[in-house]
Amino acid sequence: MLGALEGTTVVALEQAVAAPLATSRLADAGARVIKLERPEGDFARGYDDYVNGISSYFVWNNRGKESCIVDLKRADDLQLVEQMLAKADIFVQNLAPGATDRLGIGSAELRKRFPRLIVCDIGGYAPGTPDHDRKAYDLLIQAEAGLSAVTGSATSGPSRVGISICDISTGQAAYAAILEALLIRARTGQGTHIQVSLFDTLAEYMNVPYLARRYGGKEPRRLGLAHPSIAPYGLFQTSDGEVLIAIQNEREWETFCDRVLRDPSLKNDSRFSSNVSRINNRQALDEIVQAVVAKHDLAGICKLLDDVRIAYGRLSSMEGLNAHPSVTKSTVKTSAGEVEIIASPVTMDGKRAILGPVPDLGANTAALRAEFGSGGSVGRKQAFAGEAPQ
């Protein structure tokens, strides 16, 4: 299957998660992604060694790329990068604010020299805000943007989401913006300067609790595995396990009363006559639901909910996810052998993306130097102009 971005070249001056995730999606779609790494490599290579000695983060976000070692303190290596950019369609970077400007490859300069180039700058906070120059990492942004305040249970205190949700969502936002920019260029012939930040991305995700507080006057509570805006919608204990039950509308609520709770009178109970009423009386409602669910084992309640078309979810561990009958997996090649990962979520004409191999550090350096006409040294272990990435 021909990828939608076949023939597109991406130069990625990237580290960690957000930018690599965006460019991995471009690679999945067929783009050529040249990953520029300092001599020590992307520090995500060292996050762990779970995948046959390779970092799980790196395997996930760097399949299908070419790795080229560069030291941007060296004039010849910087020239090499500029020669790549002259032939590129897209440049993605997530160095510290101002780093690319100081190197002479900032967005304003590049857009003047290469009008068709799409430049995507990924940072912690948006330019022009007081926090723009601060270092920013996923967990810090979860706290700053208010996500931690609404995550966890009433007794546990604020908590983090169990994955790098800020990085992931920002990478996806950057990917979507780059695709928009490609459509704009197809119409106008001109590139675009894209700026996306971790804080802005996550803050936008917080609009429902934000609006509830600003206009409803209610600071959202931490509810653990319960929905803050819908009831009943939460975790209940069966005789041998746990199940999440979700009621989405009044028709489902009536069916739930009749067929699962087997108490039609609840439909006319003023405490539960609307979703708002059920939210206001959540504790009493949950006690009623829990009393019924406890009489069933997990298999039995799931069958009953399936029969009446009420949504539910079982609580999976990672072992459970691995064995889940609905999970789709793909394989990627690494120098340590083939690795099985969870597949890309999108199908195109019934097919999922074929995932390219994960590059060893500098695996493509010699070939890329030959192609783009620079023989700069890679021997010294120095970071990109001493700059820390976002």
Q: Which helix (H) or strand (E) holds 331?
A: strand 329-334
- pTM equals 0.87
Domains of the chain by start residue, with CATH: 9-206+327-373 (3.40.50.10540), 233-314 (3.30.1540.10)
Instruction: Outline where the chain has alpha helix (H).
Output: 18-28, 56-61, 75-87, 99-103, 107-113, 138-144, 165-188, 198-205, 207-216, 250-255, 275-280, 282-293, 298-307, 318-323, 365-372
- pLDDT tens across 168-199, in order? 999 999 999 999 999 999 999 999 999 999 99
DSSP letter assigned to residue 54: B
Q: How confident is the model at residue 1 (pLDDT cuts 50, 70, 90)?
A: low
pLDDT for position 258: 95
- pLDDT tens across 110-143, in order? 999 999 999 999 999 999 999 999 889 999 999 9
Q: How confident is the model at residue 384 (pLDDT cuts 50, 70, 90)?
A: very low
pLDDT for position 347: 86
Average pLDDT over residues 287-291: 96
Over the chain, what is the mean pLDDT? 91
Q: How confident is the model at residue 387 (pLDDT cuts 50, 70, 90)?
A: very low
Peptide bond into 232 cis (omega under 30): yes
The burial class, CB within 10 Å (0-12 / 13-18 / 19+), for 163 is exposed
